[in-house]
Amino acid sequence: MNKSQDNAQKKNTFYWGGVLFTTLLFLFIGACSGENSSDKQKAQAQYELGKRYFDERNFVKATECFKKAAEQGSVDALVWINLNKEIEIRQEDKIKWARKTADGLKKAAEQGNAEAQMDLSTCYAVLDMPQEMTKWTRKAAEQGHKSAMRSLGILLLGKGELEEGVEWLEKAGQYEFLSTGYTFGLYGLPKNQDKANEYKQKADEIKRLQK
């Protein structure tokens, strides 16, 4: 491999690392599931208990709960584990759980279930498979899944595809996000105070309507 190829590979790795982390964060914020099975409820209960222990800074107990939740297929737990360094779980276990969960979601995702598609994209983010993550995020976004639309917009901004990225963020109603991006030149957006003010007005209008 020559120097230019090596630099290109490093740049690509750095880009996807940042995008995957940001996307995981937003997936976590918007994560939810339409399934209501007994196993799903048990996994969710373990996840919620893990969050309580985490807030109490009892990381040993929190890790136990997140581990059980992830083993039972909790996508939320998988994301939490990957975002918090205090939860010490072997990488091979994270990969094993993500693959198992992805396998369980694939049929519903292929049948067009937007929630399953979004959860599947999250598993691929954990597995560091950006192409598959983007593929399933887009499928969910095209069905009107708000969290997917937001995540897809962020992915596209990170790739420099600003026009389509902004379009998806607008569809998701992410006006404050866009206003901040244009104000400070964040998320791949250029500084543009006129656009920042425009999106701020839209965000304020929505807040007024929701009161």
Query: Does pLDDT of 183 surpass 60?
Result: yes
Q: What's the confidence (pLDDT) of residue 200?
A: 96
Q: Is 85 helix (H, G, I), strand (E, B) or coil?
A: coil
Query: Does pLDDT of 187 surpass 90?
Result: yes
What confidence tens digit (pLDDT) does each residue in 30-46 have?
554 444 557 788 999 99
CATH architecture of 3-163: Alpha Horseshoe (1.25)
- What are the structural domain ranges in the chain? 3-163, 173-211
Residue 167: enclosing H or E segment and its boundaries?
helix 162-171
The angle subtended at Cα 107 by Cα 102 and Cα 108, nearest 5°, is: 95
**Whether the Cβ atoms of residue 88 and residue 64 lie closer than 8 Å to each other:** no
Lowest-confidence segment of 22-31, 34-43, 62-71, 162-171 by average pLDDT: 22-31
* Burial zone of 171 (CB within 10 Å; 0-12 exposed, 13-18 middle, 19+ buried): middle
Lowest-confidence segment of 39-43, 128-132, 137-141 by average pLDDT: 39-43
